[in-house]
C-alpha cells in the first residue's frame, strides 16, 4: 500500500498547508520558502511559538526552508539582548534556520533604492504635513481623505528632498516620504501611507549610518521579495494591509511577489500576549524578568520546566484557523502534563512537613524500601528509599478532627505509607502555646511491608512521606496563574487583573534523598503534588530550588470528557 495519500493528508492538514500544497502541485512554485519575522523588541511568547511552529513546520513538511528574519526597522525599541534571546528560544523549540538568518536592516540600502524608484515612478512624495494635519487629512472610515498639498510636487523635487532626509539635513518630524496611492480608498491603509520617516536614533546594527527608517508595511513585503519568500504568513490584523503589501510589490521591480496569508493569532485565557504589556510587567517589577516562570514567554516556560515537545504539541493541537478565538490555557497545561507523565521520574517530597514518629519502630533502624520510578515506563526501574522511625508527611494529610469524607490520617485511623507500611495514628503532641499539632505518633504493622496487608484489610488512603534523618531540604516555588481574570485585557487596565498570589515560596520542604543531586533543569514528579523542575537561576548544590511546572489535576481532560 502506498503511503502517499496519508502523507499528503498530513501535509495539507490546515488551510495554509493546502494553499502551499496546491502551489507546488500546479507548478506555481517548485520549492517553499517561509520566514519567521520577529521584531527584536521583546522576548518571544507562546503566540510566537504558534507562528514559529507554523512557518518552520511548513518548511519542514514540504522540504523547503524557513528564514529567521529580524524585522529591525524601528531603532528605538530594539536591542541585541532580544536578538540573542529570540535565537535561543527558536533553537530551544527545536527549529533550525541553518544559515538563513537575516536582518531587515541589512536591506536598508536596497530599501532606500526601492523608495527612490517609487519616487521616480511618480508613486511617492515628500510630505510636510504635521502628524496632526496628516490625521485630519486622512479622513475616517466613512469619509474619504483629502490630498496633501505636497502631493503633486515634481519627481525631481521629491528626489532632492528625500536625499536631504537621508543626509540628516531635515529635522525629525519635519516630513515623511509617502506613497501616492488613493486618499479616497475605502481601505485607510491605502490613503497615501508613510514609507520613510526621519528618526535620528542609533540602530543596534547599523549604528548612526541612517537617520531615516522605512515603515513596516514597506520594509516587510520588500524584505520578503528580496529573500525569495513564497508564502508570507502573518496574523489576521495584517489582512487589511495586504492590498498595500501587494501594491508596493506591483509598483517596483522586485525579484518575486510572495503571497501573504493571514491566520488567527493565538490568544490564551488568563494570559496576556503582547510584547508591550509583557515589557511593562518586566519594567515595573510585577515579575522577576522576562524569564520569570509565570511569564508566557518561551524563556519563562523553559525556566518553569516546560519541554519544547509539549509546546510543539500544543501548537499542533490548537491548529491554524482564519477566525480569532481564545484557547483555554488548560490545554497548554494538559500538553506538559501529558508529556511529563510519560517521562518524568517520580519521587516523594513533603512540601509542608509534619513530623510523624512510629513509636513501635526500632530507634536507629533504617530499611530501604523499593519505589517505582515511573509507572508509565517499565524501563525506568525502581529505586530504594530509606524508611526510619521519624518521618515527615504533609500537614494536609493529617486532621485531628477529620471532616466527613476525609480518609487520610487522623487519630485511630490506619493509612498506607507508600511503598512502606500501614500505620495507625495513636496520639498527637501539640504546641502548648498555639495548640497546633507538632508531632503525630503512630504504630506500624510490620506484616504490611511493601504496602499490603496479608490479611487483606484495606486502607482508604496512601500518603507520601520522607524519612526525617535522610531528608534533603529544598525551597519549592508554587506558581499560580499570573492573572486572576480569564480575559485580563477586557478590563480598563490589565494590571488590575494580576493575581496577587501567583507565587508562593515554600521554604523547608523535605525531599527524599535520591533528589539531592538533581541538576538545574531536571524535571520530576513529586507524587500526589505535580511536576517540578530544578530552577536554573536560583538553585544551588545543597540549596535546591524547585519550580512547580504544573499540578496533577487535569482541567483539560475533564473539559474534554464533558465534550467541550
Span of 272-280, 396-404, 417-425, 527-535 interacting with ligand ATP by CB under 6 A = 272-280
Residue 390: C-alpha distances to residues 354, 369, 387 (Å): 10, 15, 8
Q: Identify the three-state secondary structure at position 400.
A: coil
Q: How far is the CB of 17 from ligand ATP (least distance, A)?
A: 16
Q: Which of 391, 364, 366 is nearest to 510 (CA)?
A: 391
What's the closest the beta carbon of residue 81 comes to ligand ATP, in angstroms? 14
Contact indicator for 499, 464 with CB cutoff of 8 Å: no
Beta bridge partners of 424: 414, 443
Q: Looking at beta carbons only, is 37 or 193 nearer to ligand ATP?
A: 37
E strands present in 83-123: 101-103
- CB of residue 43 to ligand ATP, shortest distance in Å: 10
Of 276 and 317, which CB lies nearer to ligand ATP in the complex structure?
276
d(CA 116, CA 281): 41
Cβ–Cβ < 8 Å for 43, 297: yes
- Residue 488 as a binder of ligand ATP (CB under 6 A): the answer is no
DSSP 540: B
Q: Does 38 interact with ligand ATP (rule: CB under 6 A)?
A: yes
Q: Are 86 and 298 in contact (CB under 8 A)?
A: no
Catalytic residues: 39, 265, 275
- Contact in structure between 417 and 434 (CB atoms under 8 Å): no
Smallest gap, in angstroms, from Cβ of residue 32 to ligand ATP?
17
Compute the CA torsion angle 58, 59, 60, 64 (nearest 10 deg): 140
Span near ligand ATP by CB under 6 A; candidates 35-43, 141-149, 326-334, 448-456: 35-43
Task: Compare residues 51 and 502 and give the one whose CB is closer to ligand ATP.
Answer: 51
Please, how many CA atoms are within 13 Å of residue 340, restricted to the half-sphere of its CB? 30
Q: Which of 29, 48, 203, 220 binds ligand ATP (CB under 6 A)?
A: 48
324 or 461: whose CB is closer to ligand ATP?
A: 324
- Of positions 185, 189, 235, 388, contacts ligand ATP by CB under 6 A: 235
Quick one: which of 12, 47, 293, 440 contacts ligand ATP (CB under 6 A)?
47
Stretch of residues binding ligand ATP (CB under 6 A), selected from 43-51, 57-65, 458-466, 486-494 = 43-51
Minimum distance between the CB of residue 337 and ligand ATP, rounded to whole angstroms? Answer: 23
Binding residue for ligand ATP, selected from 275, 294, 383, 477, defined by CB under 6 A: 275
Stretch that binds ligand ATP, among 243-251, 273-281, 364-372, 543-551 (CB under 6 A): 273-281
Angle at 83 between CA 275 and CA 17, to 5 degrees: 70
**Dist. CA 218–CA 179, nearest whole Å:** 9
> In 3D, which of 230, 323, 226 has the Cα closest to residue 19?
230
Does 37 bind ligand ATP (CB under 6 A)? Our answer is: yes
Cα gap 56→66, rounded to integer Å: 5
Q: What are phi and psi of 403, to 5 degrees?
A: -70, 165
Would you say 385 and 348 are in contact if contact means Cβ atoms under 8 Å apart?
yes
Q: Which is nearer to ligand ATP, 94 or 451 (CB)?
A: 94
Residues 238-267 that bind ligand ATP (CB under 6 A): 265-266
- Regarding 274 and contact with ligand ATP (CB under 6 A), the answer is yes
339-353 residues labelled b (16+ CB within 10 A) or e (exposed): bbbebbbbbbbbbeb
CB 95 within 8 A of CB 52: yes
Minimal CB distance to ligand ATP: which residue? 47
Q: Does 77 bind ligand ATP (CB under 6 A)?
A: no
User: Does 39 interact with ligand ATP (rule: CB under 6 A)?
Assistant: yes
Among 65, 234, 329, 511, binds ligand ATP (CB under 6 A): 234
By C-beta, is 193 or 353 nearer to ligand ATP? Answer: 193
Stretch that binds ligand ATP, among 270-278, 293-301, 352-360, 491-499 (CB under 6 A): 270-278
Chain residues that interact with ligand ATP, rule: CB under 6 A: 37-39, 47-48, 50-51, 71, 234-235, 265-266, 273-276
Amino acid at each position: 500500500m502506498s503511503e502517499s495519500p496519508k502523507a499528503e493528508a498530513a501535509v495539507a492538514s490546515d488551510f495554509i498547508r493546502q494553499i502551499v500544497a496546491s502551489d507546488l502541485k500546479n507548478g506555481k512554485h517548485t520549492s517553499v520558502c517561509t520566514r519567521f519575522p520577529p521584531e527584536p523588541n521583546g522576548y518571544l511568547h507562546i503566540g510566537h511559538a504558534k507562528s514559529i511552529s507554523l512557518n518552520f513546520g511548513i518548511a519542514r513538511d514540504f522540504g523547503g526552508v524557513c528564514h529567521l528574519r529580524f524585522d529591525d526597522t524601528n531603532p528605538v525599541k530594539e536591542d541585541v539582548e532580544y536578538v540573542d534571546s529570540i535565537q535561543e528560544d527558536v533553537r530551544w523549540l527545536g527549529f533550525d534556520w541553518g544559515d538563513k538568518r537575516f536582518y531587515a536592516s541589512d536591506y536598508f540600502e536596497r530599501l532606500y533604492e526601492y523608495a527612490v524608484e517609487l519616487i521616480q515612478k511618480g508613486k511617492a512624495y515628500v510630505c510636510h504635513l504635521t502628524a496632526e494635519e496628516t490625521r485630519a487629512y486622512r479622513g475616517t472610515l466613512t469619509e474619504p481623505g483629502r490630498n496633501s498639498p505636497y502631493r503633486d510636487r515634481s519627481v525631481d523635487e521629491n528626489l532632492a528632498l528625500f536625499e536631504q532626509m537621508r543626509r540628516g539635513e531635515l529635522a525629525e518630524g519635519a516630513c515623511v516620504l509617502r506613497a501616492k496611492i488613493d486618499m479616497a480608498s475605502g481601505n485607510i491603509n491605502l490613503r497615501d501611507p508613510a514609507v520613510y520617516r526621519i528618526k535620528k536614533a542609533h540602530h543596534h546594527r547599523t549604528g548612526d549610518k541612517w537617520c531615516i527608517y522605512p515603515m513596516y508595511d514597506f520594509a516587510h513585503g520588500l524584505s520578503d521579495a528580496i529573500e525569495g519568500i513564497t508564502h508570507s504568513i502573518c496574523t489576521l490584523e495584517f489582512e487589511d494591509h495586504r492590498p498595500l503589501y501587494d501594491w508596493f510589490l506591483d509598483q517596483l521591480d522586485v525579484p518575486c511577489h510572495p503571497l501573504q496569508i493571514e491566520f488567527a493569532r493565538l490568544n490564551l485565557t488568563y494570559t496576556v500576549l503582547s510584547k508591550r504589556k509583557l515589557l511593562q510587567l518586566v519594567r515595573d517589577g510585577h515579575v522577576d524578568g522576562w524569564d520569570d516562570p509565570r511569564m508566557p514567554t518561551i524563556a519563562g516556560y523553559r525556566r518553569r520546566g516546560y519541554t519544547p515537545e509539549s509546546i510543539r504539541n500544543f501548537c499542533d493541537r490548537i491548529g491554524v484557523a482564519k477566525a480569532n478565538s481564545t484557547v483555554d490555557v488548560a490545554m497548554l497545561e494538559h500538553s506538559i502534563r501529558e508529556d511529563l507523565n510519560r517521562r518524568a521520574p517520580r519521587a516523594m517530597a513533603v512540601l509542608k512537613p509534619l513530623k510523624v514518629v512510629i513509636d513501635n519502630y526500632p530507634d536507629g533502624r533504617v530499611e530501604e524500601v523499593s519505589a517505582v520510578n515511573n509507572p508509565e515506563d517499565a524501563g525506568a526501574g525502581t529505586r530504594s528509599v530509606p524508611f526510619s522511625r521519624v518521618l515527615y508527611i504533609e500537614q494536609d494529610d493529617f486532621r485531628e478532627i477529620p471532616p466527613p469524607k476525609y480518609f487520610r490520617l487522623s487519630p485511630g485511623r490506619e493509612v498506607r505509607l507508600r511503598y512502606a507500611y500501614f500505620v495507625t495514628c495513636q496520639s498527637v503532641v501539640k504546641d502548648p502555646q498555639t495548640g497546633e499539632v507538632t508531632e503525630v505518633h503512630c504504630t506500624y504493622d510490620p506484616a504490611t511491608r511493601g504496602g499490603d496487608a496479608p490479611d487483606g484489610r484495606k486502607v482508604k488512603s496512601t500518603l507520601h512521606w520522607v524519612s526525617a534523618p535522610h531528608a534533603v531540604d529544598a525551597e519549592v516555588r508554587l506558581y499560580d496563574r499570573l492573572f486572576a481574570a480569564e480575559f485580563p485585557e477586557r478590563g480598563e487596565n490589565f494590571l488590575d487583573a494580576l493575581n496577587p498570589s501567583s507565587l508562593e515560596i515554600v521554604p523547608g520542604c523535605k525531599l527524599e534523598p535520591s533528589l539531592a543531586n538533581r541538576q538545574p533543569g531536571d524535571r520530576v514528579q513529586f507524587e500526589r503534588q505535580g511536576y517540578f523542575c530544578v530552577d536554573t537561576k536560583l538553585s544551588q548544590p545543597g540549596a535546591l530550588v524547585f519550580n512547580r511546572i504544573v499540578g496533577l489535576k487535569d482541567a483539560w481532560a475533564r473539559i474534554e470528557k464533558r465534550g467541550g
